[in-house]
Amino acid sequence: MDFSHKAIEKKWQKIWKEKEVYKTTYNHDKKAYVLDMFPYPSGSGLHVGHVKGYTATDIFARFRRMQGYDVLHPIGWDAFGLPAEQYALSTGNDPREFTLKNIDTFRTQLQKMGFGYDFNKEVNTAHPGFYKTTQWIFQQLYKQGLAELRNVEVNWSQDLGTVLANDEVEIKDGKMVSERGGYPVVKKTMKQWVLKITTYAEKLLSGLDALDWPQSVKELQKNWIGKSEGVEIFFHTENGIELKVFTTRPDTIYGATYLVLAPEHPTVQSITTKEHLAEVEAYIEQAKQKTEIDRKDESKTKTGIFTGAYAVNPISKTKIPVWIADYVLNDYGSGAIMAVPAHDPRDWDFATKFNLEIKFVLEAKDQSKAFVGETKHINSDILNGLDRKQAIEKIIEKIEVEKLGTKKINYKLRDWLFSRQRFYGEPFPIYYTEDGNIGLIDLEDLPVTLPQTSYIKPSGTGESPLANVQEWVNLTVDGKNVKRETNTMPQSAGSSWYYLAYILTDQPNQLIDLESNEAKERFAKWMPVDLYIGGQEHAVGHLLYARFWNHVLYDLNLLNTPEPFQKLYNQGMILGPDGRKMSKSWGNVISPDDVLQSHGADALRLYEMFMGPLDASLPWSYDGLDAALKWLNRAFRLVNKTTFSTTNNHELDFIYNDVVKKVTTMVEELKLNTAISQLMVLVNAFYKYEPSTIYQPYIEGFIKMLSLFAPHVAEEMWAMLDKQTVLVQESWPSFDQSKLIEKTITIAFQVNGKLRGTKEVEIDLDNQTLIEFAKADENVAKFIENKIIVKEVVIPNKIVNIVVK
């Protein structure tokens, strides 16, 4: 008979909880910190995409427990966020209540899936017990000079009442709008908190080398950090204003025929001539309506405007025009470039559009387009005839001797904009005195908690809704009236260190002091994270910010390792049955709750792991789900009410030990679909024999391996064998290398090259015996009867081919 998934899931989840089988242990020398990218608890609950990544980490955590590792496998909630803020502003309700309700829904769903999380380690970034430490870390960043107030140009949404990150803004109908809701967005200069992540650019770059991460993610981070070694050259306008230009190709300076400044460059107003001022100001306003992503888009037509100013090329001494164009960004390099259109496609497009001089300084046969290859220098005075390396060395020497510039390393990475104009975020642990000085809230007064308020509404002033709560904003410190910061931290603050919070937690949201000796001992035990699984959409933002904070805490001697995540794995998406990304608007979203009802947690887990490689994005298939349940029932029937042999007849020695070896390696390498295939091979082998002849330890080993993927039905099968333990506390099955020597082989019998039969025989039989077996095969005999045998070909241990006419 088949199993009842609803009955056994309820039964075993209750037993696991009562026995605390997933509690973090401290009993072994070996450890495994297995981590999911924690979810934002939205109102819609889990989707089947979450299940894919969470099942993979659950499998690996179970595997390590059974291998005798101490395992830390926690879960928590990235609970601050814009959706909760919008809910609060639209309803007036407190977002904390709304968020806690969503967390309860998510937690229940995770438990119903049978995931082996240690819920004692649960954290919630919106809980004061958690963000007390977030605030403390911010204070350390401030004390180290890594946090400062700065006037910066931001993406401002009046309707949302907050600053938006670049990836939260898109262009529609030529205008900037918020990705969420499509609200208008404008560029605005505001005083904001900024974290100086650029200070750690080199450490973040070099730290990637030792990490076991997908190469694609490493490349994304390297490109985002964007290290460039070059020279900053000093150009001067006719009226003496200095323009510093960074370039990685100073050897092409003889071909620099104009300069381009970013519209935001601080010298634009002072160098622009009166007759061009109106056009320049109009262009600057136009540039403000574009996102940074839009300005970087190489496929877009180049735009720009002449300032009326000229500068002198410090090497060639020629006078060249100064333009502004929005494809130049003010916060990379110096916000100014020397344009060499003959050898840069971007500059070529600009020069040809505006009819600017193009001068080739590298030998090129085809001068109808920009030449970017390696060749000798021409039209370059002292550099003529030199190759790139020689020319760069010589021109740098000239620049430095004549003090026309200086060597410099630049990074594309920009400092982290850390302010949000929201109610629902971590309050900053600082205050402002009446004379504008900044003060830190005393440690004993942390956390600075969000106020309890009956109605949350926008400030209307560009400030956070917290500005409305005057009794919270105004406080007294040392007898002086001061005001709190009304901005809050971004959602990424909590996610930048939450992996450490799990280590510090023994009861939900009750964290021990990060500075304590006990914390250091725990970090020494558990850090770094051994396996981190999540989507590639976090390849830059979250992973870069978390690495930054970890490096800072390491430099403060609070952590034992500079890098937080040793191995990273990006799981693929589960697409809708129609092959498109799941979306409510497409109507192709699959709810795990529905699948739990119809097929059960084990079938869902098994199907998602078997549907293809873990990193592949594949469409949902109900046929595949049905097949997973069908196979689980087949495995269950193998054990149900069956008595197995206590003596080994050795007939299954090879296949069993081979499967154990392969599954062990495959789980280690996260090749989970092929590991399941091996379990299917083993079940097929079992079914070839009478149950009473199957060696029971082999059945037990199979159930242990199955428990990684389908824990509920495996526990039920284990209990049928009169076992009193739970599987995750059992030892992982071992294999006997001596049993992995094949004693039999399947030989193919052919007549005139066509397959006519097969037979399992002993390995290394002599050719004549194999020919006799072939001729004795009934089907082969039919095809050689009344025929003349021309030739008998034997490939040992593979094929017998009888050629007839």
Confidence band of 372 (pLDDT split at 50, 70, 90): very high
Q: Span 629-656, mean pLDDT?
A: 94
253 confidence band (pLDDT: 50, 70, 90): very high
pLDDT of residue 91: 78
> Residue 195 pLDDT > 90, yes or no?
yes
Looking at residue 164, what is its pLDDT?
81
Over range 481-506, report the average pLDDT. Answer: 96
Mean pLDDT to the nearest integer, 632-654: 94
pLDDT for 494 beyond 80 = yes
Name the band, by pLDDT with cuts 50, 70 and 90, for residue 629: very high
8 Å CB contact between 464 and 421:
yes
- Confidence band for 334, pLDDT divided at 50, 70 and 90: confident
Q: According to the model, what pLDDT value does residue 340 have?
A: 97
CA gap 166, 257 in Å, rounded:
33
* Segment (H or E) for 771: helix 767-776
Amino acid at 783: F
| Average pLDDT of the segment spanning 323-332 | 89
- Rounded distance between C-alpha atoms, residue 715 and residue 527, angstroms: 32
CB 581 within 8 A of CB 590: no
- Among 540-549, 581-590, 719-728, where is mean pLDDT lowest? 581-590
Strands in 81-225 per DSSP E: 123-124, 147-157, 162-164, 169-172, 175-178, 186-195
User: What phi, psi does 615 have (nearest 5°)?
Assistant: -90, 5
- High-pLDDT (> 70) share of the chain, %: 100
Rounded CA separation 730/717 (Å): 14
pLDDT in tens, 550-585: 999 999 999 999 999 999 999 999 999 999 998 888
Fold designation for 592-739: Isoleucyl-tRNA Synthetase; Domain 1 (1.10.730)
Give the mean pLDDT of 280-291: 89
Residues 132-151 have pLDDT tens digits of 999 999 999 999 999 999 98
Confidence tier at 677 by pLDDT (50, 70, 90): very high
Give the model's pLDDT for residue 639: 94
Asked if 346 contacts 327 with a C-beta cutoff of 8 angstroms, the reply is yes
Does pLDDT of 87 surpass 80?
Answer: no
Q: Do the Cβ atoms of 473 and 486 come closer than 8 Å?
A: yes
Predicted pLDDT at 332: 74
CA pair distance 246, 261, nearest whole angstrom: 11
Query: Which tokens hold the place of 6?
Result: 């609803």
- CA gap 12, 703 in Å, rounded: 15
Other CB atoms within a 10 A radius of the CB of residue 217 amount to 19
Q: What is the pLDDT of residue 47?
A: 84
Q: Can you read off the two tokens belonging to residue 75?
A: 């879960």
Amino acid letter, residue 322: V
Closest by Cα among 121, 103, 125 to 450: 125
Residue-level pLDDT at 801: 96
pLDDT digits (tens, 9 = 90+) for 415-461: 999 999 888 899 999 999 999 899 999 999 999 999 987 777 776 77
Cβ 416 vs Cβ 545: under 8 Å: yes
718 vs 725: CA distance, rounded Å: 8
pLDDT tens string 3-44: 899 999 999 999 999 999 999 999 999 999 999 999 999 877
Distance CA 26, CA 29 (A): 8
Better-predicted residue by pLDDT, 152 or 111 = 111
Q: What is the largest CA-CA distance in the chain?
A: 116
CATH of 21-127+492-575, one of 3.40.50.620, 3.90.730.10, 3.30.450.20, 3.40.605.10: 3.40.50.620
Contact 473, 484 (CB under 8 A): yes
pLDDT of residue 771: 93
Architecture of the domain delimited by 742-804 = Roll (3.10)
Torsion of the alpha carbons at 60, 61, 65 and 67, rounded to the nearest 10:
20
- Residue 190: predicted pLDDT: 85
CA dihedral sign of residues 48, 49, 55, 58: negative
CATH 3.90.740.10 fits 227-411, yes or no: yes
> What's the pLDDT band for 798 if we cut at 50, 70, 90?
very high
The length of the chain is: 805
Domain boundaries, the chain: 21-127+492-575, 137-198+416-484, 227-411, 592-739, 742-804
Q: Using N-to-C axis directions, what is the helix angle for 95-112 and 82-91, rounded to 10°?
A: 130
Ligand-binding site membership of 175 (annotated): no
Report the pLDDT value the prediction gives residue 74, as an integer from 0 to 100. Answer: 98
pLDDT at 166 over 80: no
Mean pLDDT check: name the lowest of 259-263, 277-281, 536-540. 536-540
Buried b (16+ CB within 10 A) or exposed e, 2-25: ebebeebbeebbeebeeeebbebe
296 has pLDDT over 90: no
- Topology match between the domains 21-127+492-575 and 742-804: no
Q: What is the pLDDT of residue 2?
A: 85
Report how far residue 283's alpha carbon sits from residue 30's, in angstroms, rounded to the nearest whole number. 62
**Rounded-to-integer distance, Cα 415 and Cα 405, Å:** 25
pLDDT in tens, 706-733: 999 999 999 999 999 999 999 999 999 9
pLDDT for the residue numbered 437: 94
Backbone angles phi, psi at 183, to 5 degrees: -80, 150
Query: Average model confidence (pLDDT) for the chain?
Result: 93
Q: Which residues contact 795 (CB under 8 A, 6 or more apart)?
A: 801
Instruction: Report pLDDT for 90.
Output: 78
